[in-house]
Structure 1
Amino acid sequence: MNNINAPFDSQSNFYRNPVGAVEVGTKVLFRIMLPRSLKCSNAELAIKFDNDSSWSYFHMFWSGEFGNDKELWECHYQVDKVGLYWNGFRLQTNEGIKYIVPTNPREKSAIAPSAGRAWQTTSYKKGFKTPSWPQGGVMYQIFPDRFNYSGNKKENIPDYRYIHEDWYETPTWQPNEHGEITNSDFFMGDLQGITEKLDYLEDLGVTIIYLNPISMAFSNHRYDTGDYSAVDPLLGSEEDFKALCDEAKKRGMYVINDGVFSHTGSDSIYFNRLGRFDTVGAYNSTESPYFKWYHFNQWPNSYNSWWGFYTLPEVNELDPSFNEYINGENGIVRKWQKCGNSGWRLDVADELPDGFLENIRKAVKAENPEGIVIGEVWEDASNKESYGGRRKFLLGDQLDSVMNYPFRAAILDFLRGADGCDVMDRIMTVVENYPKPVLNILMNSLSTHDTERAITVMAGEPLYDRDRAWQASHYLSPEQYEHGIRLMKIATGILYTLPGFPCVYYGDEAGMQGYKDPFNRACYPWGRENKELVQWHKELGKIRKSCNALKDGEISDAFSNGNLLSYVRFGDCSALFCAFNKGDNEIVMDIPPGYSTGTPLMDTKIRDGKLIIPACSSAFIQII
């Protein structure tokens, strides 16, 4: 919520114009408001470029009085480098040197005796563009083994793969006789099975399908790549993948793949630790063409591996031969684009070096300028640090978008008790820090294959550090489940109306529950869905299709506080007011100016000119 009485509010265009991330070369207006009683004789903008050691100070000029007891100072500053700038303000007053510092979501800022935290300005590459086709869409994430089985018999299934006969049973979670978790149980979900359900996805409003890895591998999650160039036989064939992409395009849908390029499987044509393949892997010989892809501490048994898992040897992404194999003209990235995909989601993008990310982007855009590159980054991707420095994910040469875990955390925290004002501030911080081309296509999820199911997080017992045996035996009670469905409707209402696009993890719309892997990766409950929640998702999908403001519109807070989270999405030709009441009591509120003649959606109630939001529910008003 904007506070015009604050000394400075970086999220208000009264104080800073333009608000948010800017193209390099942009002149930014900075304005501060001071009490006249402070008798400020000089005000300065303090600014520095990211990790520069020293600050620069620029004189601000007095620009007039504001009300009876305030005055304004302002200046312009042009950002001339791509990267992050940090700013604050220094004042000379009758009380000595003072500073304006950030405080909390309600106050925004305060005048303090010493400098504190600074405000961030993201400066991104001039002309940075992202694909337009994801805007206003709905993504659906599929864990291929668990979505739908076509019934096609598969031949030559290796002995080590355990095949479940009951689609609805719990995935195997116990370790084997050696105490190892092998993830070698399969339910036979396949690519043709996904193709068979495209009509269902279309009815749900889905426009983008994100597939977890489909390359040949030896675990059910397939993040232990065995051969980047081949579809895993249990999933089908390359022709099945092409058919899926072709049929999806007929329905206006796009398919993106999961790119796992920080490591391979030890059981792969490249490493070949178990000797399953005819190839000479890096484990087999120092003369292997793949030897330089890996870092051996002592060949062959001591090597760098992903988070210490010996089955996932890390690769040197900047090795020329690996880079050519993945990003070259005839490389893996472009091969699957030629087969019909529309881009990539990059696993552990923050563990991939800048040079490799830049090469992936070049490869994707060379094959298809509208191809998309999405990175897995769990934190604020605009100021993330790894590899000993500030990352450049969103500055124009690497990613188009990221998995937006900060929005997920904000939504789930709101529905577990966090104050609406604080949650809105967390949302607006991302909006402020990310370039607009990225904001328009942020990938926003409530659940993923790496997290607990959202309904379990919101309505179930907290997981804490409980083990798999506890997770396997704990489900929501009927009362918890009923409450969880109500919370899921609020959560998805928020998810579908924030900047970017919603990504529905398969089965969330059907009411699937579960703690961590493998309980969050059970099979889709065909015939046992929660029909109320499925229908809710369909209706939200219709709103996204009809409301242009959800494609690339702005967002502004509107009365968020306590149990209420509310905001406006607005564009050139439409707007949507959204309000969410997580509390146990009805909220009666004034309709925002301009919305009294709008169209109430999704059973939104208006009575005597007031907006009525029942306990634990949502409200939407659209104007066109």
Structure 2
Amino acid sequence: MTAANSAQANTTLAPIQSSPVPVGQTGVHYEIFVRSFADSNGDGIGDLNGITNKLDYLSDLGVSAIWLMPINPSPSYHKYDVTDYYGIDQEYGTLDDFKRLISEAHQRGIAVIIDLVLHHTSIQHKWFQEASKGPDNPYWHYYKWLTPAEIKARKLATRDITADSGEKNPWHSVRGANYPEQYYGMFWSGMPDLNFDHQPVRDEFFNIARYWLNEVGIDGFRLDAARHLYREAEEPKNHEFWQEFGKVVEAAKPGAYTVGEVWTRPERIAPYFRGLKANFNFDLQLAIAEIVGKENDTEDLVEFLLYVHKAFGNVNPNFIDALLLSNHDQNRIGSLLKGNLDQLKVAASLLLTLPGLPYLYYGEELGMLGMKPDEYIREPFLWDVRARDTQRTRWRRGKYSTSQTVHPLAQQLSDPDSLVNHYKRLIHYRNSHPILTNNISKLLPSGIRQKGIVAFMRQDASGGPCVLLIHNLTKKPIEVVFSPGEEWCRCIVFETKPGGSFLNSRVTVPAYGCVVVE
């Protein structure tokens, strides 16, 4: 028997202020590049009021929190080089606009998380403007300075190009300076790294965190470049800082959420869970794109995740594995899968049923496209065809995502087979299911081993009941034979596509479909 209609299930979430569940332990989060999302005043640039105007859409989609990419004043379009940690960039609106957004989001049970860029500042920040006056300035020690001779002696002149930074020569001179020292900027000369060995720098950011949590009312932070506060040789100092930061956040607002941008091997990510509640699983993102595109589990996805979760759990049994298909730094999943709607639905099904906290990058639910450089993976959200789209941002024209290449939201909402409706059905079912919505529930292996199939179980964190998830990666229906370990399975309670059937010790999973078995 099936209960496919349970896909329509929905739950009304309580306002964040009164919710007993800390942010991140349940639900689905949604990443927004403010500049590209929705324009409320006709200037062509997305803004905070534009997001407020679209909260009903986000609530209807079923998300429990929004993560806003940087909103602080900045000279760049992306705003990852901050000039004032207490302000709102005027392109995006005012502090009152932001407080209204938070209030309206909370009324809909949606938490608000902001990007905190504490690894570096802009060279236009007042701290660096003062520091660059010379070694006698009190702000000098806010940054990392060495003379060319010291850089050479310590063999620090160059760094290896990495996935997160293409800067090979990270030491930079201040134009017109009358001193020999150079400052360190691992991303770019316009982003000088801060010195977290200097206690006043730490104290500044502890105060900044308290301000946004308590005075403004946000619910947590996404921490940019969390692994790079110190060099790799000094990585234990990173762990120590984030432990201290985590305590400050929890004391300021119990239950507030933190998620780190940390990309390395699982054993080296694990210590960050001592201070941060969540960290992004970038390796899983690559693996999902790989197996969905090949329509075969070449990566042994479940085995990989079991290994990852063991490493994380050894440090913090309540770790939150933050899952994603793409984000503002990576090629969009829509392009990686060449716009294949069936495969995009499979990727969404995996994202929303694997254990952990799923993140949707804005427009991912539409199948938006984009390949680096970064501007092209941050194109305007498509609310409607251009002639009718009064809220589409115009800061740049879409190269990959246009009304001709991607069906806009207005068109997809009226199509029951659209990608956005697939996301919507699955998210609402997930929100209604006590195990699937529990982002710290356990992953258990299934005995099912068939080509083209990904199968796994999830169990409540307390060790209670299980639910079995079976994904068909291929274009043909597959009859899946249960192993002795699945003898408790009795029926299909949800399916992403019609056509599933349960008979004795076998279940048929439709092409590109997912079934939930209890």
Q: 2:337 is matched with which residue? A: 458
Cα RMSD between the aligned structures? Answer: 2.3
- CA deviation after TM superposition for structure 1 residue 265, in Å: 0.7
Q: 1:195 is matched with which residue? A: 52
Q: Deviations over 1:364-419 (max 9, x none)?
A: 112012112211112344335xxxxxx7312x3x1111011122122112113353
Q: 1:501 is matched with which residue? A: 357
Q: 1:383 is matched with which residue? A: 268
Q: 1:581 is matched with which residue? A: 472
Q: What is the rounded CA distance, in whole Å, between the counterparts of 1:194 and 1:432 in structure 2?
A: 38
1:594 equivalent to 2:488? Answer yes
Q: How does 1:75-474 map to 2 (within 5 A)?
A: 132-151=22-41, 187-272=44-129, 281-297=130-146, 300-301=174-175, 303-307=182-186, 309-327=188-206, 331-338=207-214, 339-352=216-229, 353-384=238-269, 392-394=271-273, 396=274, 398-417=275-294, 419=297, 422-435=300-313, 441-459=320-338
8 A contact 1:439–1:499 mirrored in 2: no
Q: Of the two, which has the highest radius of gyration?
A: 1
Q: What is the rounded CA distance, in whole Å, between the counterparts of 2:187 and 2:257 in structure 1?
A: 31
Q: What is the rounded CA distance, in whole Å, between the counterparts of 2:71 and 2:182 in structure 1?
A: 26
1:555 equivalent to 2:446? Answer no
- CA deviation after TM superposition for structure 1 residue 574, in Å: 5.2
Q: 2:345 is matched with which residue? A: 489
Q: Which has the higher strand share?
A: 1
Q: What is the rounded CA distance, in whole Å, between the counterparts of 1:150 and 1:449 in structure 2?
A: 22
- CA deviation after TM superposition for structure 1 residue 511, in Å: 1.2
Q: What is the rounded CA distance, in whole Å, between the counterparts of 2:319 and 2:268 in structure 1?
A: 19
Q: What is the rounded CA distance, in whole Å, between the counterparts of 1:611 and 1:303 in structure 2?
A: 65
Q: 2:507 is matched with which residue? A: 611
8 A contact 2:266–2:308 mirrored in 1: no
Q: 1:538 is matched with which residue? A: 424
Q: What is the rounded CA distance, in whole Å, between the counterparts of 1:136 and 1:343 in structure 2?
A: 15
8 A contact 2:183–2:192 mirrored in 1: yes
Q: 1:620 is matched with which residue? A: 515
Which amino acid is the alignment partner of residue 507 of structure 1? G
Q: 1:83 is matched with which residue? A: none
- CA deviation after TM superposition for structure 1 residue 358, in Å: 2.4
8 A contact 1:439–1:500 mirrored in 2: no
Q: What is the rounded CA distance, in whole Å, between the counterparts of 1:265 and 1:250 in structure 2?
A: 35
Q: Deviations over 1:167-219 (max 9, x none)?
A: xxxxxxxxxxxxxxxxxxxx511111111111100011100111111111011
Q: What is the rounded CA distance, in whole Å, between the counterparts of 2:104 and 2:243 in structure 1?
A: 31
8 A contact 2:23–2:219 mirrored in 1: no
8 A contact 1:549–1:573 mirrored in 2: no
Q: What is the rounded CA distance, in whole Å, between the counterparts of 2:298 and 2:449 in structure 1?
A: 5
Quick one: which of 504, 522, 526 aligns to 2:383? 526
Which structure is richer in relative contact order (CA contacts within 8 A, separation 6 or more)? 2
8 A contact 1:294–1:303 mirrored in 2: no
Q: What is the rounded CA distance, in whole Å, between the counterparts of 2:268 and 2:195 in structure 1?
A: 24
Which amino acid is the alignment partner of residue 337 of structure 1? L
TM-score normalized with structure 1 length: 0.63
Q: Is the alpha carbon distance of 1:263 and 1:440 closer, same or farther for their aligned partners in structure 2, counting shifts above 3 Å?
A: closer
8 A contact 1:191–1:244 mirrored in 2: yes
Q: What is the rounded CA distance, in whole Å, between the counterparts of 1:614 and 1:343 in structure 2?
A: 40
8 A contact 2:470–2:516 mirrored in 1: no
8 A contact 1:381–1:402 mirrored in 2: no
Which moves more between the two structures, 404-413 or 584-593? 584-593
Q: Is the alpha carbon distance of 1:266 and 1:143 closer, same or farther for their aligned partners in structure 2, counting shifts above 3 Å?
A: same
Provide the secondary structure at the position in 2 that maps to 1:360.
Answer: helix
Which amino acid is the alignment partner of residue 535 of structure 1? N
Which amino acid is the alignment partner of residue 488 of structure 2? G
Q: What is the rounded CA distance, in whole Å, between the counterparts of 2:502 and 2:513 in structure 1?
A: 19
- CA deviation after TM superposition for structure 1 residue 336, in Å: 0.7
Which amino acid is the alignment partner of residue 506 of structure 1? Y
Q: 1:32 is matched with which residue? A: none
Which amino acid is the alignment partner of residue 290 of structure 1? Y
TM-score normalized with structure 2 length: 0.76
Which amino acid is the alignment partner of residue 507 of structure 2? L
8 A contact 1:400–1:438 mirrored in 2: no
Q: Deviations over 1:549-577 (max 9, x none)?
A: 12043222221443111112233665432
Which amino acid is the alignment partner of residue 618 of structure 1? G
Q: Is the alpha carbon distance of 1:375 and 1:600 closer, same or farther for their aligned partners in structure 2, counting shifts above 3 Å?
A: closer
Q: Is the alpha carbon distance of 1:213 and 1:506 closer, same or farther for their aligned partners in structure 2, counting shifts above 3 Å?
A: same
Provide the secondary structure at the position in 1 that maps to 2:455.
Answer: strand
Q: Deviations over 1:457-477 (max 9, x none)?
A: 122xxxxxxxxxxxxxxxxxx
Q: What is the rounded CA distance, in whole Å, between the counterparts of 1:608 and 1:422 in structure 2?
A: 25
Q: Is the alpha carbon distance of 1:295 and 1:433 closer, same or farther for their aligned partners in structure 2, counting shifts above 3 Å?
A: closer
Q: What is the rounded CA distance, in whole Å, between the counterparts of 2:326 and 2:79 in structure 1?
A: 19
